[in-house]
Structure 1
């Protein structure tokens, strides 16, 4: 796969699964009443948490596979199934428990600092984002493509910070309908990506049966 194609795949995949626009309602519910400076600090902590977690799993992905004896093809199939379910829920404009459960959202309302939990983890960098990162790292060929996935993670984290920092303005411009529309488009992209992961995993697991 060409470097430019792989880089676009990484950015598009990660941006679709992180989907900072879907986090806007939760972000505003938790910190919307706080001063702008406090909202900016929370947005920064959430974005940094996203960056650190995905970079960690991206760097340690191969070691995790070896430690547990998991093949990349098996992880692609399992990750694809998880992402497909999340994509379907996004297309139905539903809050997925894969991102955060109702209990976690309720508990977060009593916390003073929500930037790390639940915004950074698991709302932005939940199981779906982690699985996508590890699959993409497994697909990388050579140092250039490995660098591309880490740059994509950085770009997504930066955009996430900018979106959350401007949450009141973005939410007012888009409205709930606009946010749901973006979520449905991201869900469709994510579902298609998930199916590609599953097909790639099956093809790699059974190369003699599926050419």
Structure 2
């Protein structure tokens, strides 16, 4: 069982990528109040956990019932992420936040916990497919519980990464944060394009 936990944990860690999601979350929530940022981090992980648990327990029947292929998740998620990435690169989100700041409080900043953080960043096509595959390969309640434990450990790591991302970015300062946000926007755009390419390739097979 230890081998199953380790292999499941490593596989999910590489797909979910807690360290990689943290700076993107920090960039998306730049300017939000610390309490609001923490609330978004917790909400994103909780919602993502619910999505992944749903697909782990009833993924294949649900998709078949709805007539949806996993490749469609990749393409749709990639397109939506690309739009977010463009806003990060050209600071459209920053401009909107500054305009809104004259009218509302910081606690009402954009909520990114559901989209794009919970889905597709955390509970994206890759993590959904991985959880479904690991559960399909785990025969028996005990082995399935081990896979669930590995998933839970990764989600706890994700929560810790998201909660630590904000303070780290604040220490760096506004100018460095702006540079990092634009750089992360470019990386997020590349990730979005890869999602679309993977989805198209999978559809053409």
**TM above 0.5:** yes
Q: Distance in 1 between matches of 2:62 and 2:145?
A: 19
Q: 1:170 to 1:19 in 2, by over 3 A?
A: farther
Q: Distance in 1 between matches of 2:34 and 2:22?
A: 15
TM-score relative to the length of structure 1:
0.61
Describe how 1:167-178 pairs up with structure 2 within 5 A: 167-169=165-167
What's the CA shift for 1:9? 1.4
Partner of 2:81: 101
Given that 1:62 and 1:138 are in contact with CA atoms closer than 8 Å, whether structure 2 keeps it comes out as: no
Residue 163 of structure 2, aligned match among 162, 165, 177:
165
Q: 1:167 to 1:160 in 2, by over 3 A?
A: same
TM-score relative to the length of structure 2:
0.62
Residue 16 of structure 2, aligned match among 12, 18, 22:
18
Matched, 1:63 2:61: yes
**What do the CA deviations read for 1:26-53 (whole angstroms, capped 9, x no partner)?**
2112213222211111110111121111
Q: 1:139 to 1:162 in 2, by over 3 A?
A: same
Q: 1:38 to 1:68 in 2, by over 3 A?
A: closer
Q: 1:27 to 1:16 in 2, by over 3 A?
A: same
What's the CA shift for 1:163? 0.6
SS of the residue 1:101 aligns to: helix
SS of the residue 2:111 aligns to: coil
RMSD: 3.6
Any unmatched runs of 5+ in structure 1? 70-74, 84-96, 181-211
Q: 1:122 to 1:12 in 2, by over 3 A?
A: same
Partner of 2:7: 9
Given that 2:48 and 2:119 are in contact with CA atoms closer than 8 Å, whether structure 1 keeps it comes out as: yes
**What do the CA deviations read for 1:59-93 (whole angstroms, capped 9, x no partner)?**
00353477589xxxxx9xx99xxx9xxxxxxxxxx
Count, aligned residues: 154
Partner of 1:121: 119
Q: Distance in 1 between matches of 2:132 and 2:79?
A: 17
Partner of 1:112: 110
For structure 1, which segment, 48-57 or 23-32, has the greater mean C-alpha deviation from structure 2 after superposition?
A: 23-32
Structure 1 runs (4+) deviating above 6 angstroms are none
Q: Distance in 1 between matches of 2:2 and 2:120?
A: 30
Q: Distance in 2 between matches of 1:9 and 1:45?
A: 27
Matched, 1:142 2:150: no
What's the CA shift for 1:16? 0.9
Counting helix residues as a fraction of each chain, which structure ranks higher? Answer: 2
